Amino acid sequence: MSSPQMLNSLPATSGAYTNGMQIPKTVKVGHLNHYFGEGELRKQALYHNNLEVRRGEIVIMTGPSGSGKTTLLTLVGTLRTVQEGSLKVLGHELNGATNDAIVRLRQELGFIFQAHNLFESLTAYQNVNMAAELQGMNRKLADERITYLLTRLGLGHRIHYKPKSLSGGQKQRVAIARGLVHQPKLVLADEPTAALDEQSGREVVTLFQELARNEGCTIIMVTHDNRVLDVADRIVNMVDGRIRSDVAVHETSVICEFLRRYPLFADLQTSTLTEVADKMMVEEAQPEDLVIRQGDPGELFYLIRSGRVDVVVEENGEKRKVAELGEGQYFGEAALLRDEPRNATIVARTKCLFYTLGKVDFKQVLDRSKSFDAEVRAVLASRT
Ligand SMILES: Nc1ncnc2c1ncn2[C@@H]1O[C@H](COP(=O)(O)OP(=O)(O)OP(=O)(O)O)[C@@H](O)[C@H]1O
Ligand SMILES: [Mg+2]
């Protein structure tokens, strides 16, 4: 059992049982439905939406008018009550959450919505400061942050102007500063650049990128503005109340590049490859972590992105290391194909990064790729 293929062919058990660290999600939406109106007028606006957003990600939501973007955004922002499904924000389940929990959570959120509702009698500085005071921010910190944000947004010379002396775009930028002043962990922005010229729009999204990188701030932004799509880590497209596509832009292209290097995926068309990459999840394991356990049911296929693992088989109460796998090799396929329990244990030798693919998606890829299907089946046949 020393050829890589033989090693690869050892079935593995489900990732659900790994000790591999799962990075916590800032937002996790599960089977979310939403309705407006009562009785006969009741109309469904969101259908079975699922979405995961990681810390520090910039998500751009697009889609036609009436497709449910604002509805979803306001649900995430606790501005509407969750009716059906699960919605976790910063680790808190909102379905059935108490008022107290919601009020506390709201302090971690920053809102930038279309109607900016600035106080006409207050200056730009004072409008932003109002939000800082409501959040109980330290005076000196608040002052620095307000000056920094307004300057950064190109309003340095208008800090002490009142809204009536500001243009629509300038007012919008004051509202943006107000939404960001308290260093929120999650920013929800509905068309933040709509009223802005190209340069101001660019300044806003560059600021978002800085906050995401430097403060780990997560940003979900609805926009029709194609000029700013390049800042997105993930683009979510909604149509008729459903998330039609959800593409992790950078990660997908990195995974695609990796997959492309291996013969297993070689005859997949770019579009299929992208689809596969998009469905893959990233999992980490530390040295000694049990990745899968012999005898467990199989749910995931694993591709090793980096690191090395040991393949251990237990027979008659005796454990025997039968192989070692490294970058580009895979495991876990046999249990998925045969609906059998894992027939080996996989333990991380070093720190590892895996790309994993769920059972259903794995089978779909097999159907699409002749070489993938043939190789996997040949490997399985050679073992029996
Ligand atoms: N308060 C409300 N009462 C009743 N129906 C509503 C309400 N808000 C939204 N809707 C309906 O829900 C659907 C989704 O609306 P939503 O505002 O989320 O769309 P959107 O994608 O944000 O559109 P736009 O790009 O025009 O802002 C639409 O059919 C809309 O008519
Ligand atoms: Mg909207």
Give residue-wise pLDDT tens across range 184-220.
999 999 999 988 888 889 999 999 999 988 888 999 9
Whether residue 116 is contained in a domain is answered as: yes
Name the domain boundary from 228, 247, 266.
247
Q: Which CATH number belongs to the domain containing residue 38 in this structure?
A: 3.40.50.300
- Looking at the fold, whether 32 and 13 belong to one and the same domain comes out as no
Q: Is 182 exposed, middle or buried (0-12, 13-18, 19+ CB in 10 A)?
A: buried
pLDDT at 13: 33
261-286 pLDDT per residue, tens: 777 777 777 777 777 887 788 788 99
- Looking at the fold, whether 315 and 238 belong to one and the same domain comes out as no
Residue nearest to atom 8 of ligand 1 (CA): 71
Q: How many whole angstroms from 63 Cα to the centroid of ligand 2?
A: 10
- Three-state SS string over the chain comes to CCCHHHHHCCCCCCHHHCCCCCCCEEEEEEEEEEEECCHHHCEEEEEEEEEEEECCCEEEEECCCCCCHHHHHHHHCCCCCCCEEEEEECCEECCCCCHHHHHHHHCCEEEECCCCCCCCCCCHHHHHHHHHHHCCCCHHHHHHHHHHHHHHCCCHHHCCCCHHHCCHHHHHHHHHHHHHCCCCCEEEEECCCCCCCHHHHHHHHHHHHHHHHHHCCEEEEECCCHHHHHHCCEEEEEECCEEEEEEEHHHHHHHHHHHHCCHHHCCCCHHHHHHHHHHCEEEEECCCCEEECCCCECCEEEEEEECCEEEEEEECCEEEEEEEECCCCEECHHHHHHCCECCCEEEECCCEEEEEEEHHHHHHHHHHCHHHHHHHHHHHHHHC
Name the domain boundary from 247, 269, 293.
247
Q: How many whole angstroms from 75 Cα to the centroid of ligand 1?
A: 12
Rounded-to-integer distance, Cα 253 and Cα 335, Å: 28
Residue nearest to atom 5 of ligand 1 (CA): 36
Spatial contact of 143 and 175, defined as CB atoms under 8 Å apart: no
* Nearest ligand, CA 44: 1
Rounded-to-integer distance, Cα 300 and Cα 288, Å: 20
Whether residue 58 is contained in a domain is answered as: yes
Q: Is 63 in the pocket of ligand 1 (CB under 6 A)?
A: yes
Q: Which atom of ligand 1 is nearest to the CA of 191?
A: 27
Q: Is 73 in the pocket of ligand 1 (CB under 6 A)?
A: no
Q: Is 46 in the pocket of ligand 1 (CB under 6 A)?
A: no
Name the domain boundary from 193, 223, 247.
247
- Looking at the fold, whether 14 and 38 belong to one and the same domain comes out as no
Residue nearest to atom 3 of ligand 1 (CA): 36
Whether residue 256 is contained in a domain is answered as: no
Q: How many whole angstroms from 114 Cα to the centroid of ligand 2?
A: 9
- Looking at the fold, whether 195 and 143 belong to one and the same domain comes out as yes
Task: Please provide the size of the chain in residues.
Answer: 384
Range of the domain at 362: 4-21+280-383
- Looking at the fold, whether 139 and 231 belong to one and the same domain comes out as yes
* Percent of the residues in the chain that have a pLDDT greater than 90, as a whole number: 60
Whether residue 254 is contained in a domain is answered as: no
Q: Does the pLDDT value for residue 77 go beyond 70?
A: yes
Q: Does the pLDDT value for residue 10 go beyond 90?
A: no
Whether residue 191 is contained in a domain is answered as: yes
- Looking at the fold, whether 103 and 239 belong to one and the same domain comes out as yes
Whether residue 44 is contained in a domain is answered as: yes
Q: Which CATH number belongs to the domain containing residue 325 in this structure?
A: 2.60.120.10
Whether residue 77 is contained in a domain is answered as: yes
- Looking at the fold, whether 96 and 10 belong to one and the same domain comes out as no
Residue with the bigger pLDDT between 160 and 373: it is: 160
Whether residue 365 is contained in a domain is answered as: yes
**Domain tally for the chain?**
2
- Looking at the fold, whether 303 and 350 belong to one and the same domain comes out as yes
Q: Give, for ligand 1, the residue of 41, 49, 67 to mutate: max count of ligand atoms closer than 8 Å to Cβ.
A: 67
- Looking at the fold, whether 47 and 168 belong to one and the same domain comes out as yes
Q: Is 127 in the pocket of ligand 1 (CB under 6 A)?
A: no
- Looking at the fold, whether 202 and 317 belong to one and the same domain comes out as no
Query: In whole numbers, what is the pLDDT of the chain averaged over residues?
Result: 86
pLDDT at 382: 57
16-30 pLDDT per residue, tens: 333 334 456 899 999
Q: Which atom of ligand 1 is nearest to the CA of 241?
A: 14
- Looking at the fold, whether 34 and 183 belong to one and the same domain comes out as yes
- Looking at the fold, whether 13 and 48 belong to one and the same domain comes out as no
